[in-house]
Copies of this chain bind each other. A is one copy, B any other.
């Protein structure tokens, strides 16, 4: 495994770090009428995962914003949460400024930079993330902080569960073996593009996996969510696809289970893996995020991609900094 696997091995520590450093934000659920989570790429994906998980649990709308601005409805009764690993992501910093002007409630999750400086100056709550990694390899802490923030709003205390999850994720050899076994079965097709077919519960996790394939293996990856994709994308599933289809289904809807069964028949050998999911627990969620992260590195390894180099992103940043 290449260099970047050393970074991924820190997932367990990152979870633990957030649990150890979390302090209640003190915002009561009654004082907010909606929540907006802002962040980009590896820093933004935690919000999407959280949104899917709390869809049937939280009593206010949650929106994910990956842009420079905020929706019109945001205001003093909006809880805005800003995630930026470096603290200098230009979209997130711009959106922070708008939240400030609109009088939103603000929480920042960051490793430093402008976001930390501004949030400290404004006396907003800042949850600190340890630096030095590529942002996408630092998911453990922001994700866990977000879970703690949301459980806090619900008056729930899950620190013990999260600590257990951190312990489980420290068995990196198991994850490396398991992910390696799955990816070994892809054989020649490993360098094809990937389509991850998921149900709504796993939408955030599937998008995370696609992004990890993009950045770590330098391969194309897309997400189709069921039941919606059964109304359109399915009409492009004719003939040979040159695609690796990977299924991930929480099995929380009988009708959606049938849709997966139908696609399995239809796509045949193009379905290279079905990720087996026990339930919709926090455990299962973290487990699958981490397993899929390792799979992305196994794929990178097979195709000989240099995962820790992000040449296009660096060129873009240089281009933007000159404007």
Q: Give residues in A with beta carbon < 8 Å to B.
A: 33-34, 40-42, 44, 54-61, 63, 66-69, 71-73, 90-91, 136, 200, 210-211, 213-215, 218-222, 225, 227-228, 230-238, 241, 243, 253, 255-256, 258-259, 262, 266, 310-313, 315-316, 319-320, 323
Q: A218-B238, A220-B236 are in contact. Are A258 and B312 (CB under 8 A)?
A: no
**A73–B61 touching, CB < 8 Å:** yes
Taking the nearest CB of chain B, how far is it from the CB of A239, in angstroms? Answer: 9
**A200–B67 touching, CB < 8 Å:** yes
Which partner residue on chain B sits nearest A312 by CB separation?
A: B234
**B230–A316 touching, CB < 8 Å:** yes
**A68–B227 touching, CB < 8 Å:** yes
- 30 inter-chain pairs at a CB distance below 8 angstroms, sorted by A residue, are A40-B231, A42-B231, A42-B232, A44-B231, A55-B71, A55-B72, A57-B72, A59-B73, A61-B61, A61-B73, A66-B200, A67-B228, A68-B253, A68-B255, A69-B253, A90-B255, A136-B232, A214-B232, A215-B232, A215-B235, A218-B235, A218-B236, A222-B222, A230-B316, A234-B313, A235-B312, A235-B313, A258-B320, A262-B316, A262-B319
Complex Cα spacing A212 to B263, Å: 20
Which partner residue on chain B sits nearest A89 by CB separation?
A: B231
Taking the nearest CB of chain B, how far is it from the CB of A75, in angstroms? Answer: 9
**B227–A40 touching, CB < 8 Å:** yes
Picked from B227, B235, B266, the residue with its CB within 8 Å of the CB of A66 is B227
**A316–B259 touching, CB < 8 Å:** yes
Q: A56-B71, A220-B236 are in contact. Are A230 and B33 (CB under 8 A)?
A: no
Which partner residue on chain B sits nearest A241 by CB separation?
A: B220
- What chain B residues lie within 8 Å of A54 (beta carbons)? 72
Complex Cα spacing A62 to B310, Å: 35
Which partner residue on chain B sits nearest A243 by CB separation?
A: B220
Q: A215-B235, A310-B235, A316-B262 are in contact. Are A63 and B66 (CB under 8 A)?
A: no
Complex Cα spacing A3 to B58, Å: 48
**B255–A44 touching, CB < 8 Å:** no
**A227–B73 touching, CB < 8 Å:** no
**A225–B312 touching, CB < 8 Å:** no
- What chain B residues lie within 8 Å of A58 (beta carbons)? 72-73
Q: A71-B55, A232-B211, A235-B218 are in contact. Are A91 and B61 (CB under 8 A)?
A: no
Taking the nearest CB of chain B, how far is it from the CB of A296, in angstroms? Answer: 11
Complex Cα spacing A136 to B315, Å: 40
Complex Cα spacing A255 to B317, Å: 12
**B71–A61 touching, CB < 8 Å:** yes
**A228–B40 touching, CB < 8 Å:** yes
Which partner residue on chain B sits nearest A35 by CB separation?
A: B61
Which partner residue on chain B sits nearest A319 by CB separation?
A: B262
Complex Cα spacing A310 to B236, Å: 10
Complex Cα spacing A320 to B234, Å: 15
Complex Cα spacing A234 to B67, Å: 16
Picked from B56, B218, B313, the residue with its CB within 8 Å of the CB of A230 is B313
Picked from B56, B61, B72, B310, the residue with its CB within 8 Å of the CB of A63 is B61
Complex Cα spacing A215 to B232, Å: 6
